[in-house]
């Protein structure tokens, strides 16, 4: 089972204040790229795995999805998602996606934003998604990039000339990592890109898109503090087509 | 055009002394993995792009390939390749794979070991390979992993507790990098994984294998100095199937 850190009061309060929590999809710099990887939404049956506040669920319905099921472990987040949603095509389910079962061949699109790096059992999850998506359907997901989750003590270091570098270590050692992001003791599962891709393929998907998100030139101009993001990708966006 | 560093006397002398230059494929720790990604060689028409001393060309012929064409920019390397080869199924061509043209639909397997990170024009090269490989054929290649080529000043740093980390910076900035590997002024082209995969796909290949090479537990036991290789992958091995 994944850790339910989003129902930790300290974490939830901090998370609720993040730009992406306040502004939704428009507050997530990787969203335009992730959005460009999605299939046409008209008539789509969608499942959002780790739906959080339901921003994507509502976007998908507005974009024409036939049905949208949002699943999340956090009752805190789902309470706000339900309060913010008024559309009977959208339903929410409180469940741990690390163990949840899904109906077979029931979805045209499975979507997951920044949730899979919390999963303990990725192969089981991928196989479940592979059975739930119809042939020709898509699985589009984002994760924290493995070079971001790898280090034992994630940080930048500065050399004598003032140049900053990200530290990278333990990349090939797959196991949990405990960090103090927003609250102490947040547990993530580090896996290599190799593992993400091979799990996706074994679940019956062909790789379609693979994007290591970095800010554009314009985004760096608008947000100079993002320059450091060019040193190492923070997000990895992947899509697969079910064969 | 790629830099012809292999015809630099100092570089060539140093390169010739490397384990993989003396022992061939058996001296390359990533070879067993790369080998496992190859199609059956019986009757295969093979092109080896950046063939060096011809170790793979000879292996392919011994494994049953019908014809093997090895291409390399370095006359130094091809001279030794020709001297070590006695098999009329194998031919060598001195050419820069950055600009070389290949016959269309003439090969069942294109192979390239640790050469593509020298190429200036990757999209042109990939498109050339895409036209040269028949439908159903394969392109199997290894490169230095982009986290290895990215840093402005590649090195490990040690924290106060003695823990070593690789430095990672400039990952998303694609351009040449000049390092002092074996000789001063070796020019490599850094590209993200995103670029390698999208170029491969645009050339008509579906991603088949994606392996960030790391030593196995047994290899670390046999070669304790490789422990540090677990901190960041040095090699990336990729195969695509021509659709």
Query: What percentage of chain A exceeds 90 in pLDDT?
Result: 86
The closest CB to that of B194, out of A159, A197, A212, belongs to A212
Confidence tier at A176 by pLDDT (50, 70, 90): very high
Q: How far is CA A240 from CA A34, A57, A138, A189, in A?
A: 13, 20, 6, 21
State which residue of chain B sits closest to A161, comparing Cα positions. Answer: B153
The closest CB to that of B168, out of A147, A194, A207, belongs to A147
For residues B4-19, average pLDDT? 88
Q: What is the ipTM of this complex?
A: 0.95
A168/B172 touch (CB, cutoff 8 Å), yes or no = no
B206/A206 touch (CB, cutoff 8 Å), yes or no = yes
Which of A30-34, A234-238, B2-6 is the least confident region?
B2-6
Q: Quick check: A166 contacting B, CB < 8 Å?
A: yes
Written as six digits, the tokens of A19 are 């730009």
User: Which tens digits make up the pLDDT trace of A12-27?
Assistant: 988 888 888 889 999 9
Q: Does domain B40-232 have CATH number 3.40.50.150?
A: yes
State which residue of chain A sits closest to B192, comparing Cα positions. Answer: A212
For residues B202-209, average pLDDT? 98
| Cβ-Cβ contacts under 8 Å, A193 against chain B | 193, 210, 212
The answer to whether residue B182 scores a pLDDT higher than 90 is no
A153/B159 touch (CB, cutoff 8 Å), yes or no = yes
State which residue of chain A sits closest to B161, comparing Cα positions. Answer: A153
First to last CA, chain B: 29
For residues B37-56, average pLDDT? 98
State which residue of chain B sits closest to A173, comparing Cα positions. Answer: B230
HSE-up (13 A, CA, CB side) for residue A167: 18
For residues B17-33, average pLDDT? 92
pLDDT number for residue A1: 76
Task: Answer for the pair A164, A136: CB distance below 8 angstroms, yes or no.
Answer: no
pLDDT number for residue A2: 81
Q: Quick check: B10 contacting A, CB < 8 Å?
A: no
Of B182 and A233, the structure prediction assigns the larger pLDDT to A233
| Cβ-Cβ contacts under 8 Å, B197 against chain A | 207, 210
Q: How far is CA B103 from CA B129, B131, B132, in A?
A: 9, 8, 6
Give the separation between CA B168 and CA B151, rounded to whole angstroms.
5
User: Which tens digits make up the pLDDT trace of B219-231?
Assistant: 899 999 999 999 9
| Cβ-Cβ contacts under 8 Å, A192 against chain B | 212, 233
The answer to whether residue B181 scores a pLDDT higher than 90 is no
Q: Quick check: B227 contacting A, CB < 8 Å?
A: no
Mean pLDDT of chain B: 95
The answer to whether residue A212 scores a pLDDT higher than 90 is yes
pLDDT number for residue B160: 92
Q: Quick check: B166 contacting A, CB < 8 Å?
A: yes
pLDDT number for residue A81: 97
| Cβ-Cβ contacts under 8 Å, A157 against chain B | 157, 165, 167
Task: Answer for the pair A151, A170: CB distance below 8 angstroms, yes or no.
Answer: yes
The answer to whether residue B1 scores a pLDDT higher than 80 is no
Confidence tier at A78 by pLDDT (50, 70, 90): very high
For residues B40-60, average pLDDT? 98
The closest CB to that of A167, out of B157, B173, B194, belongs to B157
User: Which tens digits make up the pLDDT trace of B76-113?
Assistant: 999 999 999 999 999 999 999 999 999 999 999 999 99
First to last CA, chain A: 29
A230/B168 touch (CB, cutoff 8 Å), yes or no = no
Confidence tier at A179 by pLDDT (50, 70, 90): confident
Q: Quick check: A173 contacting B, CB < 8 Å?
A: yes
What does pTM read for this prediction? 0.96
Written as six digits, the tokens of B162 are 């003695």
| Cβ-Cβ contacts under 8 Å, A207 against chain B | 197, 206-207, 210
Task: Answer for the pair B81, B52: CB distance below 8 angstroms, yes or no.
Answer: yes
pLDDT number for residue A124: 98
State which residue of chain B sits closest to A209, comparing Cα positions. Answer: B198
Q: Is A162 exposed, middle or buried (0-12, 13-18, 19+ CB in 10 A)?
A: exposed
- CATH superfamily of the domain spanning A41-143+192-231: Vaccinia Virus protein VP39 (3.40.50.150)
pLDDT number for residue B179: 86
pLDDT number for residue B184: 85
Q: Quick check: B153 contacting A, CB < 8 Å?
A: yes
For residues B112-134, average pLDDT? 97
In order, the DSSP letters of A4-35 are -GGGSHHHHHHHHTSHHHHHGGGG-TTHHHHH
A157/B157 touch (CB, cutoff 8 Å), yes or no = yes
Query: 10 Å Cβ neighbour count for A174?
Result: 16
């Amino acid at each position: 089972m994944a850790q339910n850190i989003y129902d930790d009061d300290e974490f939830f309060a901090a998370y609720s204040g993040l730009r992406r929590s306040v502004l939704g999809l428009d507050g997530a710099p990787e969203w335009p790229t992730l959005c460009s990887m999605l299939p046409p939404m008209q008539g789509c049956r969608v499942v959002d795995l780790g739906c959080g506040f339901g921003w994507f669920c509502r976007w998908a319905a507005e974009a024409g999805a036939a049905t949208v099921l949002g699943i999340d472990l956090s009752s805190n987040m789902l309470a706000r998602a339900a309060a913010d949603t008024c559309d009977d095509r959208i339903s929410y389910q409180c469940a741990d996606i690390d163990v949840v079962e899904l109906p077979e061949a029931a979805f045209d699109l499975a979507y997951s934003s920044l949730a899979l790096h919390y999963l303990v059992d990725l192969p089981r999850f991928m196989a479940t998604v592979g059975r739930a998506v119809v042939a020709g359907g898509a699985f589009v997901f984002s994760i924290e990039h493995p070079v971001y989750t790898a280090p034992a003590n994630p940080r930048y270091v500065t050399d004598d000339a003032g140049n900053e570098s990200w530290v990278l270590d333990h990349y090939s050692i797959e196991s949990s990592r405990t960090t103090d992001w927003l609250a102490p003791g947040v547990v993530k599962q580090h896996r290599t890109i190799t593992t993400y891709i091979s799990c996706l393929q074994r679940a019956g998907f062909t790789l379609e898109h693979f994007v290591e998100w970095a800010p554009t030139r314009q985004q760096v101009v608008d947000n100079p503090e993002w320059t450091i993001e060019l040193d190492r990708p923070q997000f990895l966006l992947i899509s697969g087509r079910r064969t």
